Structure 1
Amino acid sequence: MLLTVNVAFGVVLAVLLLAAAVTAALTHLGRGREILVAGVRAAAQLGAVSLVIGWVVRYLPALVGFVLLMYAVAVWTAGRRITPRGPWWWAGVPIAAGVLPVLAVVLLTGIVPPTGIALVPVAGIFIGGALTATVLAGRRALDELRTRHGEVEAGLALGLLDRDARLEVARVSASDALLPGLDQTRTVGLVTLPGAFVGMLLGGASPLRAGAVQLFVLVGLMAVQVVAVAVTLELVARGRLHRRGE
């Protein structure tokens, strides 16, 4: 077992969470309350999932409903993070565009069996990766358009279409959303041993099989995130994803 779950485990978690929140507050990062809420929510949500996941994976309707719930929460989270008072629901487009093709390929080819115990974690990994990429790309693109609005106007004056002028300004910043995934893939096995790899080893799989699973996860995530970033950038350029008043 990787961790011993006892009273000390709970105390250490609480101390680490509190330390993170206090550090954020003392250094004026402005995220102390969010850190506390995120930690408490994570504990509650994982506890609830632990209770129902064994039932969900046995029944197809429940399995589909659970995956759709993951998607809905991802859309809400990404959309509200990008544009709290704008058309946040557009965040569902890049997440779906990134996840659905990759998930379809791995299911149709039999790489991932169509069973709950395999589909739920794989879908969760891909949806989570698309969420992160969408948030980063959307926020970076909109921030860049706000600070470099004059360059957009200059592009329009030169005859560029509004979409093209916005793309020229926002493209590089939005592409930075791919950096965390790229760095994780580049350094895997050298800096970190990701969860899928460690989980397979702890489950008794051979190192070779565990490495193959982790490679599949990383490459699949890159594919998901590239599509999510590209679609997010297009939505921003076309004015679908925007902040109210901008």
Structure 2
Amino acid sequence: MLPVNSVLGAVLAALLVAAAGVAAVARLTGPGGRSHARAVGTAGLRAAVQLAAVSYVIGWVVRAVPLLLGFLLLMYAVAVWTAGRRVTGNRTWWWAALPIGAGVLPVVAALLLTGLVPVRGIALIPVTGILIGGALSATVLAGRRALDELASRHGEVEAGMALGLLDREARLEIARPAASDALLPGLDQTRTVGLVTLPGAFVGMLLGGASPVMAGAVQLFVLVALMAVQAVAVALVLELVARGRLHRGGGPGRPAGEVA
């Protein structure tokens, strides 16, 4: 659909500069007041390098099952690291492995056991990548929102405990609504598919020569599978935060969400 030439490179560079420029002019900042302008530029450059490398690597790993499994594990490890460090800066980040793995693994296993997806890299890598990406996004959103809410409403948590609620129950009451918001992007995408947007799987199938019916079936599967993966991820992140396993404190004795 797009020619890979100097024109494409120039357009991409202009769009990246525009995105970073808008972030700088609008003073869009992240945690700690750091400007997102530099983050936008860095993310774009990283994406270019990583996609170029992955394009060559995938052609190599699809030739053998051990290489394929190794590549999938690498995808999972990077997702865990990224999600965990986005949620917290301390050693509890590795708990992000649980919601991502518990959401993705059962779905991938079901697809393989039913034969809907063959054990071939050309099919397994993109499907697993979509699911891991969805779990990553849900984990980050749920974890950050839950911990932010607990930090800003810590007094309400203590009030609930004073009324007789257990630590976990008091934190759940405060964190659950905020963490649940992580499901909204996936829900909105599913509700408006075909009316507002035509997602990548649908367009890719059409460009690959599939019929509109087949493309629609594949896209429906992707959306429903993503909702299942993200629901599991959000539920587990909420539980980890409520139990104090995933926190921003200086140690396990600090309340979940309390900043050191």
Q: Same fold (TM over 0.5)?
A: yes
Where do 5+ consecutive residues of structure 2 fail to align? Answer: 30-35, 251-257
1:122 to 107, 127, 138: 127
User: Corresponding residue for 2:8?
Assistant: 9
User: Corresponding residue for 2:48?
Assistant: 43
Where do 5+ consecutive residues of structure 1 fail to align? Answer: none
**What pairs up with 1:158-237 in 2 under 5 angstroms?**
158-237=163-242
Percent of aligned positions with the same letter in both sequences? 75
Residues in 1 aligned to 2:191 and 2:63: alpha-carbon distance in whole angstroms: 37
**What pairs up with 1:13-92 in 2 under 5 angstroms?**
13-30=12-29, 31-92=36-97
The secondary structure found in structure 2 opposite 1:214 is: helix
The secondary structure found in structure 1 opposite 2:150 is: helix
Residue 98 of structure 1 pairs with residue 97 of structure 2? no
How many residues align structurally? Answer: 245
Contact 1:86/1:244 (<8 A) preserved:
no
2:157 to 152, 156, 179: 152
The secondary structure found in structure 2 opposite 1:242 is: coil
Contact 1:86/1:242 (<8 A) preserved:
no
Higher relative contact order (CA 8 A, sep 6+): 1
Residues in 2 aligned to 1:73 and 1:139: alpha-carbon distance in whole angstroms: 18
Q: Give the superposed CA RMSD.
A: 0.8
The Cα shift of 1:85 comes to 2.6
The Cα shift of 1:56 comes to 0.7
What's the TM-score, normalizing by structure 2? 0.93
User: Corresponding residue for 2:33?
Assistant: none
Runs of 4+ with >3 A deviation:
none
AA in 2 matched with 1:3: L
What's the TM-score, normalizing by structure 1? 0.98
The Cα shift of 1:86 comes to 4.0
